[in-house]
Structure 1
Amino acid sequence: MSEPARHSGLTAFGRTGRTGRVVKRLAALAAGSAVLLSAAPPALAAAPGRTGFAEASADYPASVAIDTVTPTVAGQNDPITITGRVVNAGGGELKSAHAAVRVPLGGKSLRTRSDIALVASRNNPSTQDGSDLQSPQAALGDIGAGQSRPFTLQVTPADLTISKAGVYELAVDVWGGTADNERMHALGIARTFLPYNAEPTSRATQVATLWPLTHTPELVAQTMPDNDQMPVLRDDGLAAELAPEGRLYKLVTIGSTLPGLTWVVDPDLLDTVYAMTKPYRVQKPGTAGESAKEENTVAGTGKDVATAWLAKLRQAVAASGSEVVSLPYADPDIASIAHNGADLNGMDTTLRKAGTAGQVTAEGRLSVDVRPDVAWPYQGALDQQIAATARTAGDTLVLVDGTSMPEPGSLPYTPNSARSIGNGQTAVVADHTVSEPFQGDLSTQQAQTAATQRFLAETKMITEQRPQDQRNLLVMPPRGLTVGTATALAAALGAAQKGAWINQVKLDAVATAAPDPDANSSVPGPADYPNELRGSEVSGSALGDVMGMQTRLDQLMRILTQPQRVRGPFSAAMVRSMSTGWRDKASAGNAYRAGVQEYLDNLISAVKVPAKSVITLPGDNGTLLVSVKNDLNQAVGNLQLRLTSGQLNRLDVVGLPETVVLDATTSRTLRFPAKAQSNGPVQMTAQLWTTGPDPQPYGKAVSFTVEVTSVTQGVLYVIGGGVVLILLAAARFYLQRKKRSVDPDDSDPEADADTESGSDARSRAGSETDVDSGSHTAGDAGSDTTADAVPGPVDAPGTEADSDPESAADAEDRVAGDEKVGH
């Protein structure tokens, strides 16, 4: 039977949804162990391994854990010290218990990686584990329920009948009696692995190890409203990680001891730390969408630790043999984008810009050359959509976990990591079984030992599969590498390097190695992407909202006189909104995105037409006063205000739209001549528009009502006077004719003429009075301080109206908001 290159006893990383159930079973059996067991071949997957405390059973009530193995790699005649603990997890007392090391069955080494997986899959004591050494034994005495006992055992390779180089099972079991069975019998067992390195390997395997320095985004779009644009962070938790006892500080310290390390850095983290080396502010809780001010922020505390950490990192990455991979700026979640947002307008451009910005930032902050064309999808899970999105972003190298591209079971060795996947891209596939023990937080000594010994066993076996051929491996820990896990990984790499079966190299060395023609180079389809990982993706609606901000941001840029104060911080915040760092912090990611959206809304709405109430226009002609307000801390222009009537046949605005130019935190009143045709309410709309070749509405339209009063009264008086004159003339003509018909000989033309001229004069005098009495008067414009109506002259002879619109305008100009927007 051939030896499979990788052992995928668990269904390939969630492709059927089974992984979550398997993990839960392992957790139940591990009883507090943080070690992730490597998968076994399919036939063996049902039995989880016991590399730490295991869940007790009625037959095996003792949980055994191996805390340390010293040395981790045994040499000829080296004494081997094993320490650990035994916990009575049963309900009764364990009587006269003792711990002992088992001699490997037949003193034989494990021959294949499948053998290693088989040992890891065992649970209860078995004859396959060999037999107990009679000496030494660690007496534990009686152990009450829930009690624990430590043990220390020291043996030599000769005690274990080990004589040839290879990988051996190292098992410690506990024997004793119970209340139900007082005779001595096996009560529990723990297993690990012991490489024996009597002679050096002919050709060491080249191993590239990723050393990620990432963090969830901290910088926000806001800056303080001063000339220096002091940066603002969402919280000050990063300062603790940069301190000497913090995670990021220790990662740099540990990494600086490893030769040939590949640092994988998020440039946004470097930018944030650099910002912290100067005075900065931190948002108070609940103010994520507000403009930054003294009252809603506090002073940051991380200046000294940020300065020291950045200097330490620069020294570490400059060491000979190191390589720096620059992730795209803010580490955008390429898997979420590929599945939910690849077709969004502007996404391709955003990804390419993030890659360029990442390179420029990393090289500038670290003063070293970086490799910018590397895509690292979340947890290394790859499918065809992700590969295509990475290619669009300009990434030629993709870091992949082995569960996405498993090797065929017929392959009797572990192939090199690099393989071509077409379209000019190379996948560097991390061996899942080698990397898996370092995926969790190895916070206990026992967990670190289990991971270290498994790593040493796997890498030594890989090297011995084809010792005449140069081998190349990639080790991929998680982005959020913890201190405990980093400590264990560094110890494992150091021990294997000292044992001379691996040689630590940069990523470039592994990526450029000749691909193995028998290795799997097929990229899975989208249907094979792990279901568990889809559940934590940034949704399509969230990505759509983020990309939708760009159009609104571009519109804001058109009116600002200093757009650079907003463009850079906001563009960076948009990419941070899509960061992979939010994968395991979904609520924090949602809050960050909501804060960016709210802040942009506040900036846009800071330039506005204030809301209006009903105003009165007391005449046929008048002037409507409308104010525009700028609450930003910079001047705005390239705007005009358009005032439109909902009923042009009743009230129309005369003239062109008014140009708007406003200094920071000021307001201005604009005047619009209006002509009314009839009385009553008319709906008016005030809307700001951008100017230029493609004018667009800016902000929200403001509607208000103009109440038109006293229209056409003077005209009616004139018409009424004319009608009266006609009626009087008709009556006089009728009376004269009647008189002549009664006494035609008594007519007196002179008298008639005198009478007519007097009547006409009296009629004309009465008409002029009526017109004068009907002239308009200035009325109360109402209580609205942001709009007014100033009456104009009536279109009738002899009428006139005086007004003083300047006083209302001056009052408007004095209205200024107290709130200042951060930009």
Structure 2
Amino acid sequence: MRALRAVAASLLGLVLVLGMAWSAPATAGAAEPTAYVAITFTAMTPSLPDRNDPKATVTLQGTVTNTGKSELSNLQAVFWRSFDPIQDSEGMAAALASPADEPLGYRAADYYENIPSESDRTLAPKKSTDFSVTIPMSALKLPSIDAIYLLGIHIRGRLVPNGPDITLGRGRVFAPVVSGEPDNAAQLSTLVVLDSRPSLVRQGVFADDHLATELGPDGRLTALLDAAETPDASFAVDPNLIEELQTMRAGYQVLRPDGQTEAGTGQSAAGRWLADYTRMARTQTGYRLLYGHPDISALVHAGMTSVVDNGETAAKAVTTTSALPLLAMPASGQADQQTVEYLAGLKPAAIVLDDSTTAQTRPLLAGPNGVPLLNTAATSVGGGPGPDPSDTPVQIRQRTLSESWLEAGAAGPADTIGQLRVIRTRAQARSSTSEVTAPWLKREPLSRLLDSTPASWPERYRYPESAAQKELTQTQLGGVGRLVAGYRVLADLLVRPADVELEADAAPARAASTSWRSRPDLWARFVDPQQARLDDVQHAAVTIIATPRVVTSAHRVQFPVTVRNTLPRSIDDPQRNAVQVRLRFTSANSQRLTVTIPADEQRQLQMIPADAGVTTNAQVEAQTNGTVGVTAQAYTMDGTPVGAPVPIEVKATQAGTIGWLIAIAAGIVLVGTSALRIRQVARERSRDGAAAEPPADPSDGTDPTSEPHPAQTVPPPSETDRGDAPRDPESLDV
């Protein structure tokens, strides 16, 4: 029996081992547990729980949303905590990467709230309700170790009526629970970035009205402006944002999908925001961003840095921000050495990089050409831990407090430590206006950090392929290049190119904005109307009016040609939109016929007022009769064709008349000359014959004055007059 029991025990152990081995794969690969609700934290008080006060409490507040398709019942919000202390950055990283049920932690079953209410504990699909749960610090029973702990809420309830109670969802926050202070303090500098996706497509017209939403009472730009006003905060503003808001304040239109426009809705909101900005900027430390916040890395790698340079020219025209020092901020703080060196050449006050690029922890680093690098921990404003939503202001604030405590505790007494928080989103802005204070934190403006000595480092920049793939696409960069070319043609066409130089500098920088990363549809909606307008200018701003058929009746004739400027006229400025062109004709057979514009006539085309035309004369040179096709084309002064080519048929009908007249006259002269010569020879022969005849003998009875008989006057030729005997040379002229 003992032997059988031993065998049975061995078999049972084997079965258990095999069972565990068999079942392990079913749970080992589990990530986030299934959730039927989403928990959004709205408050945690206090942000630093006091373990030394026996009466201290902690309260978590938030919203629960039923994300499933079925009604939930018997709902209850229960306080939860983990007893695992987090005392270093590795522990923070592990907690951020962990699923919501790792560690499992413990629910404080006695501290809960029935939701939505005691009398109604059901929640329909897509509906939300609030919760608020408070627990005494003593009831948390946390280890007596100064550390970061995870606190949270579990939502318990039923998926089906009368079913079992299960955990429907989880939410977690970081909480520093400490009794002492670190030996060192961390400097906390906050930089609020005031920018937005560009929208201005032409003077007074916007691609959409998203700025009106961002300027609303609960909008992103409103929250960011509030954050910039907090004590010791600094701000960096995009000059393009100020320019667009100034345009909105003056009244603006918004493009509709059909190409028509309608009145925008943010005029008054833009005026209020600009007034609040002006008041804030008087007291806070401010910087300006590159105009349009362009994708520096993409433009540098594509050899298109002139877009950035021209944007800086446009920034000078925004007087509200032109005096602020430049702060260069590559997208996501990621850049390679080539990009950083280009930015250093712009002489900014600093270049803001993410610590994933530098692999450094110190907040201020030495950079190229004496330009310092502001080293940010971008993840510190990323919120967490999960599950989503994990970027609430509460979670962002608690993470900042936790990471700064770890940094201060790890630093030596002589170490200069700190953290730069870059605020871009509404949630980040709300967290920065919340109470982010702690004994180990010292809030300083950014200028104070820049006044310190930058730390030396190897200056090796990490820019992985994953970062390069986020840059603007080749299609987008090609579109930016076409805008540049289109404005170049427009400027060359106008008599006063300065009228569009500012727009030509600004538009490509807006089109190359970092805002367009991973947004090709929005980018096309913004760029296409601008490119269509430039194409229309090149193809239709100048028209040629000429008769389609010209008939000449002479070797050289002229015919009129009118060049018309179709650009709109300005009543206040008659010279605005005036154009200058060169007119050229291309002949299908230049050997037979050419058409040119004389220089004095060409000069008339160097000032064609808007909505008007200038008529000049074209000169035809025809060498032979016949019909030749000619094409008239207008060009800018730089040689770019503008407007549509116009075909003209030129028929020369008497191109050889002069030649024939000369030939006929020459023939008449020849005939006349020949006749005169014949007559002259005849007379000479007559005289010679008379001299050879002997005088008449009066004795023969003839009259000496009578005409001689021809037979007697012209003797018959002798033998010597025939054959090869030389002939009278005078006979060759007859």
Query: Do both share a fold (TM > 0.5)?
Result: yes
Aligned length: 629
Q: 2:384–2:399: 8 Å Cα contact kept in structure 1?
A: no
Counterpart amino acid of residue 551 in structure 2: T
**What is the aligned partner in structure 2 of residue 72 from structure 1?**
47
Give the deviation of 1:268 after TM superposition. 1.1
Counterpart amino acid of residue 651 in structure 1: L
Give the deviation of 1:428 after TM superposition. 1.6
Cα distance change of structure 1 residues 351 and 173 upon mapping to structure 2, 3 Å threshold: closer
Counterpart amino acid of residue 209 in structure 1: T
**What is the aligned partner in structure 2 of residue 623 from structure 1?**
558
* Structure 1 unaligned spans of 5+: 1-44, 224-230, 288-295, 408-414, 738-743, 748-823
Map 1:232-631 → 2, pairs under 5 A? 232-256=205-229, 258-283=230-255, 285-287=257-259, 297-298=261-262, 300=264, 302-319=266-283, 322-340=284-302, 342=303, 344=304, 347-348=305-306, 350-355=307-312, 357-358=314-315, 361=318, 364-365=319-320, 369-372=323-326, 374-395=327-348, 397-407=350-360, 415-437=361-383, 447-466=392-411, 468=413, 469-478=415-424, 481-482=425-426, 484-491=427-434, 494=435, 496-497=436-437, 499-516=438-455, 521-525=459-463, 527-530=464-467, 532-534=469-471, 539-549=476-486, 551-557=488-494, 560=495, 562-604=496-538, 605-610=540-545, 613-631=548-566
Give the deviation of 1:154 after TM superposition. 2.0
After superposing the two structures, state which structure 1 stretch, 380-389 or 82-91, moved more.
Answer: 82-91
> Do structure 1's residue 668 and structure 2's residue 647 form an aligned pair?
no
Counterpart amino acid of residue 625 in structure 1: P
Local SS of the residue matching 2:137 = coil
Counterpart amino acid of residue 523 in structure 1: Y
Local SS of the residue matching 1:476 = strand
In structure 1, how many angstroms separate the alpha carbons of the residues matched to 2:400 and 2:168? 28
Map 1:125-204 → 2, pairs under 5 A? 125=101, 128-133=103-108, 135-138=110-113, 152-162=132-142, 165-173=146-154, 189-199=170-180, 203-204=184-185
Give the deviation of 1:338 after TM superposition. 1.6
**What is the aligned partner in structure 1 of residue 187 from structure 2?**
206
Give the deviation of 1:533 after TM superposition. 0.9
Q: 1:89–1:145: 8 Å Cα contact kept in structure 2?
A: no
Q: 2:47–2:175: 8 Å Cα contact kept in structure 1?
A: yes
After superposing the two structures, state which structure 1 stretch, 503-512 or 604-613, moved more.
Answer: 604-613
Map 1:80-95 → 2, pairs under 5 A? 80-83=58-61
In structure 2, how many angstroms separate the alpha carbons of the residues matched to 1:429 and 1:47? 36
Normalising by structure 1, we get a TM-score of 0.66
Give the deviation of 1:265 after TM superposition. 0.8
**What is the aligned partner in structure 2 of residue 801 from structure 1?**
none
In structure 2, how many angstroms separate the alpha carbons of the residues matched to 1:475 and 1:55? 33
After superposing the two structures, state which structure 1 stretch, 611-620 or 669-678, moved more.
Answer: 611-620
Counterpart amino acid of residue 514 in structure 2: T
CA offsets per residue over residues 356-384 of structure 1, 9 Å max, x none? 543662xx326x95221x22111222122
Counterpart amino acid of residue 440 in structure 2: W
In structure 2, how many angstroms separate the alpha carbons of the residues matched to 1:699 and 1:85? 62
Q: 1:206–1:473: 8 Å Cα contact kept in structure 2?
A: yes
Cα distance change of structure 1 residues 220 and 192 upon mapping to structure 2, 3 Å threshold: closer
Counterpart amino acid of residue 699 in structure 1: V
Local SS of the residue matching 1:533 = coil
In structure 2, how many angstroms separate the alpha carbons of the residues matched to 1:550 and 1:667? 23
In structure 2, how many angstroms separate the alpha carbons of the residues matched to 1:439 and 1:569? 45
Q: 2:295–2:472: 8 Å Cα contact kept in structure 1?
A: no
Map 1:762-801 → 2, pairs under 5 A? none
Normalising by structure 2, we get a TM-score of 0.73
> Do structure 1's residue 217 and structure 2's residue 198 form an aligned pair?
yes
Q: 1:351–1:393: 8 Å Cα contact kept in structure 2?
A: no
Counterpart amino acid of residue 273 in structure 1: L
Cα distance change of structure 1 residues 606 and 259 upon mapping to structure 2, 3 Å threshold: same
Cα distance change of structure 1 residues 722 and 116 upon mapping to structure 2, 3 Å threshold: closer
In structure 1, how many angstroms separate the alpha carbons of the residues matched to 2:617 and 2:213? 57
Counterpart amino acid of residue 504 in structure 1: R
Q: Which has the higher contact order (CA 8 A, sep 6+)?
A: 1
CA offsets per residue over residues 692-735 of structure 1, 9 Å max, x none? xxx645536644321222444686589689989999999xx9xx
Local SS of the residue matching 2:138 = coil
Q: 2:545–2:564: 8 Å Cα contact kept in structure 1?
A: yes
* Structure 2 unaligned spans of 5+: 1-27, 683-707, 712-734
**What is the aligned partner in structure 2 of residue 293 from structure 1?**
none
Q: 1:125–1:186: 8 Å Cα contact kept in structure 2?
A: no
Q: 1:265–1:327: 8 Å Cα contact kept in structure 2?
A: yes
Q: 2:314–2:505: 8 Å Cα contact kept in structure 1?
A: no
Q: 1:621–1:673: 8 Å Cα contact kept in structure 2?
A: yes
CA offsets per residue over residues 378-397 of structure 1, 9 Å max, x none? 12221223213323444462
CA offsets per residue over residues 308-365 of structure 1, 9 Å max, x none? 221111111222xx2212012222221220222x2x4xx34x423433543662xx32
Q: 2:60–2:152: 8 Å Cα contact kept in structure 1?
A: no
In structure 1, how many angstroms separate the alpha carbons of the residues matched to 2:209 and 2:173? 41
Q: 1:577–1:593: 8 Å Cα contact kept in structure 2?
A: yes
Counterpart amino acid of residue 618 in structure 2: F
Give the deviation of 1:200 after TM superposition. 5.1
Give the deviation of 1:535 after TM superposition. 6.2
In structure 2, how many angstroms separate the alpha carbons of the residues matched to 1:595 and 1:510? 44
Q: Which has the larger radius of gyration?
A: 2
Give the deviation of 1:171 after TM superposition. 4.1
Cα distance change of structure 1 residues 264 and 240 upon mapping to structure 2, 3 Å threshold: same
Give the deviation of 1:267 after TM superposition. 0.4
In structure 1, how many angstroms separate the alpha carbons of the residues matched to 2:71 and 2:619? 99
Local SS of the residue matching 1:385 = helix
Local SS of the residue matching 2:93 = helix
Q: 2:493–2:581: 8 Å Cα contact kept in structure 1?
A: no
Local SS of the residue matching 1:110 = coil
**What is the aligned partner in structure 1 of residue 642 from structure 2?**
699
Counterpart amino acid of residue 476 in structure 1: V
Cα distance change of structure 1 residues 284 and 446 upon mapping to structure 2, 3 Å threshold: closer
Cα distance change of structure 1 residues 630 and 678 upon mapping to structure 2, 3 Å threshold: same
Cα distance change of structure 1 residues 428 and 606 upon mapping to structure 2, 3 Å threshold: same
CA offsets per residue over residues 432-451 of structure 1, 9 Å max, x none? 331222999x9x79844333
Q: 1:74–1:196: 8 Å Cα contact kept in structure 2?
A: yes
After superposing the two structures, state which structure 1 stretch, 266-275 or 567-576, moved more.
Answer: 567-576
Counterpart amino acid of residue 270 in structure 1: I
